[in-house]
Amino acid sequence: MVQNTDCLIVGGGAAGFFSAVVCGEANPNLKIAILEAGREFLTKVKISGGGRCNVTHHCFEPARLILNYPRGAKALRGAFSRFQPRDAMAWFERRGAELKTERDGRVFPVSDDSQTIVDCLLAAARESGVILRTQAPVLTAEVIDSGFRVALKDGQLWETRRLLLATGSHPTGYRLAQALGHGLEPPVPSLFTLTVKDPRLTDLAGVAAETAEITLLDDQGKPLKSLQQQGPILITHWGLSGPAVLKLSAWGARYLQERRYQCQCRVNWLPPQNPETLLAELLDFKSNQPRKQIGAYCPLALPKRLWQSLIQFSSIPPELTWADVSKVQLRRLALELTQGVYQIRGKGAFKEEFVTCGGVPLGEVNFSAMESRRCPGLYFAGEILDIDGVTGGFNFQSAWTTGALAGRAMAEERRPR
């Protein structure tokens, strides 16, 4: 038997649920269903933000907000003027999910438990009468006179006037989009740590530099100014992590993937210092504190263990007094502190959040309604699109925004196709 709906949503994640609820609330007459391949809905919301769910980011200016999207910024500019973090926060709070903003702007449920967000979305969908089906993987989709027909793995057929693909980064979603006439920007990972095996970092796991700068180098060893990030860097057992590294992995996602995650990066542990300004400062210390041991006395805003490791790497015996350290040695140290080159040997996992860059090309979608320009009646929301943000709640925000716009558009009554 064929099941019929007005709006059929493939994918029961953040974007699918948000669009279903927005659509159902805007037009209660519609029959809306979500088909989810997995056993549970909203599994990524559940594990997100280390189990706390970083719902969005406290940034209410679309022009500033889009700076956090390596891909999708231009398309999201207008979308954020229609539904932005302030709207998402109000939406959740109206439904009883209290939120709080942390000092760095990240927004979490007051409960510090992602289940609050999962429960809120599930309750809202039930209240709107959305039909919910798990273990319902959609394998194929085709255009028919009245709209679309999709087939599930078990052979079940669903027909619908409007179809929304909200399948995240799952390959079957891309295949469905392609079958309905869309292209595909090749999917590659974003938001990951960098694997760096280097004697300078050995035994320093857990050490963090509060403000550092990391720059990718091109194949000739020249710094790529467009692939440079500043912020905290954390040394791990496997290499480098922390906000600056994660942002770099997002902006450099394609560059790094093309090089199979094998290239060089340069780390400045003390920006905005450069070798010359830092040498001048080190020479000042040398004349002011000549009796102190260089290994025991770090005059810079740098973790002591990192300082000691870099002194050794610069071939300066740590027991030397500042007076006995030569200018040549200090120049070497200044270079090491501001322009140390490290070999990236792979990418690591970032457990709190990782996303996929690539997906349905944005030029093929009308962003005022999230409707396909190639196939009327077909909509997209969330990570299936070639949009991804840096870490901080920006990825969910793009799911809420594109979901809300798709939901509103699908709710509008218009002549069937």
Return residues touching ligand FAD (CB under 6 A): 10-16, 35-38, 43-44, 47-49, 53-54, 137-138, 166-168, 170, 172-173, 352-355, 382-383, 393-396, 399
Nearer to ligand FAD, 14 or 263 (CB): 14
Nearer to ligand FAD, 379 or 394 (CB): 394
Nearer to ligand FAD, 38 or 361 (CB): 38
CB 166 within 8 A of CB 384: yes
Other Cβ atoms less than 10 A from the Cβ of 205: the count is: 12
Whole-Å CA distances, 256 to 72, 218, 247, 336, 344:
19, 10, 13, 24, 9
Residue 10: CB minimum distance to ligand FAD, A: 5
CB 338 within 8 A of CB 274: yes
**Token reading at 57:** 């980011």
Residue 170: CB minimum distance to ligand FAD, A: 3
Nearer to ligand FAD, 108 or 307 (CB): 108
CB 147 within 8 A of CB 162: yes
Residue 335: CB minimum distance to ligand FAD, A: 38
Nearer to ligand FAD, 41 or 307 (CB): 41
Residue 150: CB minimum distance to ligand FAD, A: 9
Residue 26: CB minimum distance to ligand FAD, A: 19
For residue 272, cis peptide bond before it (omega within 30 degrees of 0): yes
- For Cα atoms 221, 225, 228, give the angle at the middle one, nearest 5 degrees: 95
Q: Is the dihedral angle over the CA atoms 202, 203, 205, 207 positive or is it negative? A: negative
Residue 125: CB minimum distance to ligand FAD, A: 13
Residue carrying the six token digits 């450099």 = 252
Other Cβ atoms less than 10 A from the Cβ of 291: the count is: 8
Residue 187: CB minimum distance to ligand FAD, A: 12
Nearer to ligand FAD, 69 or 269 (CB): 69
| Secondary-structure percent of the chain, ordered helix, strand, coil, rounded to 5 | 35, 25, 35
Residue 87: CB minimum distance to ligand FAD, A: 15
Residue 238: CB minimum distance to ligand FAD, A: 18
Nearer to ligand FAD, 116 or 395 (CB): 395
Q: Which residues contact 97 (CB under 8 A, 6 or more apart)?
A: 109, 116, 117, 119, 120
Nearer to ligand FAD, 158 or 394 (CB): 394
**Token reading at 125:** 């969908």
End-to-end CA distance of the chain: 23
**Helix, strand or coil, per DSSP, at residue 195:** strand
- For Cα atoms 222, 225, 230, give the angle at the middle one, nearest 5 degrees: 115
Q: How far is CA 13 from its chain centroid?
A: 16
Nearer to ligand FAD, 37 or 124 (CB): 37
